[in-house]
Chains A and B, each alone.
Chain A
Amino acid sequence: MELNLGTFFRDSWNIAKFDLWTAIRTKRAVAAIVMYSLGALITAIVLVKIEASVGNELAQLKTVDKSVAAASGATDTQLETTLSTFVGGDIETARQILGMPLVILGFFWMSLTFLPFLILLVSHDIVNVEVRNRSARYVLLRTSRGALLTGKMISHGLLFLGVTIFSNAALFFYAWYYSPGFQPLPSLLLLLRIWILIIPFAFCWMAFTAMISAFVDNGLLALIVAGIGMAFLGILSLNDSFTFFTPNHYKLWLWKSGVLWPALGSGVFILFGLIFTAVAWARINWRDM
C-alpha cells in the first residue's frame, strides 16, 4: 500500500482537530476534565495543609531543642531508607522524593495512579464508536484507516495534555499562594519534568485503550475489557517472572533520580505504546468498517 506521509499527517491533523472540538463538547469529556482538575486541586489543598502543618511543628521543635533537630535528621535518614525499599533500594531516589514539595509529589503519584483510569473512561470508545455508527465511513472515503486512528489518538492525547496543563497550572498557583516555603522556579522545573514523564506514560495507556477499542465494538464491553486488561497487567507486574512484560513494572523508573532511568522508563512506555498502537492499527486495517 502506498503511503504518502505528507497527506497522512495532514489528514491525521485534520481529524485530530475536528475530533478534539467535537470531544470537548461532549458531557463525558467535560466530566473527565472536571474530575481530573478537581482531583488535582483537592490533592493540592490537602497536601498544602499537611505540609504547612508538619512544617510548622517541625520548625517549632527545631527551635526548642537542637537534639530534636538531630533526631529529625535521624528520622529523615530512616525515612529515606524505608522509602528506598519502594524504589528498588535507591537511596538517591528516595532522597529526591523526600525533597519534592509534598503537593507536587502528590500530583505525580495521583497522575501515575489515576490517569490510566481516566484515559480508560474517556477513550474506551475512541475507535469503536465511529465503527458502530459508521460515521468512520465518511472519513474513510477520504483518507486511510491509519490516519483515522492516528488522528483520533492525537485528539485524545491533546485532550489529556490540555487537562494536565490546566490542572498543573491550578495546582502550581494554589501551592505558590498557600504553601509558605514553596519555591516557584524549582517547583516549576520539577513540575515540567513530571509533565514530560507523564506524556509517554499516558501515550502507553491510551494506545492500550485504543487497541481494546479496535477489537471490541460495544462501548461498555470495551470499557470492561480494557479495565480487566489493566487490572491483569497490574497483577502480572507483581509476578517476578512476568513483571518485565508489563508497563506497570517501569512506572518505578519514572520516580528515580537523574535523567537516565526516567528516560529509559519513558522509552519503555513509548515502546509499549507503539506495540499497542501497531496491534490496533493492524486490527483496524484488516477489519470491516
Chain B
Amino acid sequence: MAAVIETNKLTKKYDGRAVVDQLTFTVPQGSIFGFLGPNGAGKTTTFAMLCGFIRPSGGDAVVLGQPLSNLPRHLMSALPQDAKFHPERTLKDSLIFMAQLQGMDKQKAAAEAKRVLEAVELLDAAKFRGKTLSHGMAKRFGVAQAFLGTPELVLLDEPTEGLDPKNSQTVRDMIKAMAGKSTVLVSSHNLAEIEDLCDEALILDKGKLVTQASISELTGRNQQILIQLGTAGSINALKNLSSVTAVEASDDGKSLRVSLNLAPGERPEPAITEILSTLISTGATVGTVVRGKSLQERFLELT
C-alpha cells in the first residue's frame, strides 16, 4: 500500500533538547492511523511539523508526495491542538472563510459549512461567536473544520479530548466514516478509542519511536488469548495441543494466558475453539475470553 506520509529522521529541538528525535515512520494510504504516547512524547510537535506549522530541526518528511516546504494544503486538513478561533466571528462565517481558502466559491462554502456543522451537531450554534463557545463546542467546531471538503489526509490531534461520551461517539463515527476515503491520523490518550478506531498505530516515548505496527500485532490478538474461568480445569491438557505454545496460569488457576502457535495469516478461531473444548472436557467452566492484550497493557509495557 502506498505511503501518504513518510518521515526520515524527523527531528525537532528546543534549546538543544530533542522533543522529536530522529523519527522515521510511514502512514499507509487509506488507513486510520493512531499516534500514541505519554504526555510530552512529541505527538503534537510531530503533528505540527507535518502540518507545516513548525520547521523541523533535522530530517525531513514527504506528505502526499510533497516535501514539508511545499505541502499540498488543498489535499489535507487538521485539527490542531490549542488553536483558538476568531473570537468575534460566528462559527458559520469562520467555516465559510476556511472553505473559501480551500478554493470553494461562497455558495459551495456555505453548503459545506452547513454540512459539517450538522455532522458535529452544531447547526443550532451556527451564529454563535467564537468567544462564546464552551470547550466541548470549540472541540467539535475544530473537528468540523477538519472535515470541510474531501481532504485526502486528515490529522486529528486529540479529537475527543474533553468531550462527553455522546459527542465523543459522534466524532468517532465521523472518523470511521472516513475509512477508505481518506487517510486519518489520530492522536489520543484514550487507548480504547485508538484500539477501536485504528488499523495501525505507532507509539512514541520521549520523542523517539518505540514501535509501529498494526493494532492486532500491537495487542497480539492472533498470538495470545486470556481466559477467565468460573471453575478451574486442567492446564496440562492444553500444553499437548499443537496450536498452543505456552500457558500461564494464575495462582488459583482461574485466569489463563495462552500463547497460540499459528501460521502467518491463519485464523485463530479454530485454535480458540479447540482450547475451550479441551478445557471444558476437563471440567472447567468458561467466563470470558479476550484475544490479545489490551492496547493499554501493551502501551504500559512499551513506555
Question: Residues of A with Cβ closer than 8 Å to B?
Answer: 1-2, 7, 10-11, 14-15, 18, 21-22, 25-26, 133-135, 137-144, 286-289
Question: Residues of B with Cβ closer than 8 Å to A?
Answer: 48, 51-55, 69-70, 73-74, 76-78, 80, 82-86, 88-89, 93-94, 97-98, 100-103, 145
Q: List 10 A-B contacts (CB under 8 A).
A: A2-B70, A14-B100, A21-B89, A137-B51, A138-B94, A141-B73, A141-B76, A141-B77, A141-B80, A142-B101
Asked if residues B73 and A138 are in contact (CB atoms below 8 Å), the reply is no
Could you say which residues of chain B place their CB within 8 Å of the CB of A286? 55
Bound-state Cα–Cα, A144 to B70, Å: 9
Most buried by B among A7, A137, A144: A137
Instruction: Known contacts A137-B80, A138-B145, A288-B54; decide if A18 and B88 are in contact (CB<8 Å).
Output: no
Min Cβ gap B73→A in Å is 6
Asked if residues A14 and B53 are in contact (CB atoms below 8 Å), the reply is no
Bound-state Cα–Cα, A135 to B98, Å: 12
Q: Which residue of B lies closest to A141 (CB)?
A: B78
Asked if residues B54 and A289 are in contact (CB atoms below 8 Å), the reply is yes
Bound-state Cα–Cα, A289 to B89, Å: 22
Could you say which residues of chain B place their CB within 8 Å of the CB of A11? 101
Q: Which residue of B lies closest to A15 (CB)?
A: B101
Instruction: Known contacts A142-B73, A143-B73; decide if A134 and B101 are in contact (CB<8 Å).
Output: no
Asked if residues A134 and B88 are in contact (CB atoms below 8 Å), the reply is no
Asked if residues B70 and A134 are in contact (CB atoms below 8 Å), the reply is no
Min Cβ gap A25→B in Å is 5
Could you say which residues of chain B place their CB within 8 Å of the CB of A144? 73
Could you say which residues of chain B place their CB within 8 Å of the CB of A287? 55
In-complex Cβ contact of A288 among B53, B94, B100, B101 (8 A): B53
Could you say which residues of chain A place their CB within 8 Å of the CB of B98? 138-139, 142
In-complex Cβ contact of B84 among A15, A135, A142 (8 A): A135
Instruction: Known contacts A140-B52, A141-B51; decide if A14 and B101 are in contact (CB<8 Å).
Output: yes
Asked if residues B52 and A22 are in contact (CB atoms below 8 Å), the reply is no
Bound-state Cα–Cα, A7 to B170, Å: 34
Min Cβ gap B259→A in Å is 46
Most buried by B among A10, A138, A288: A138
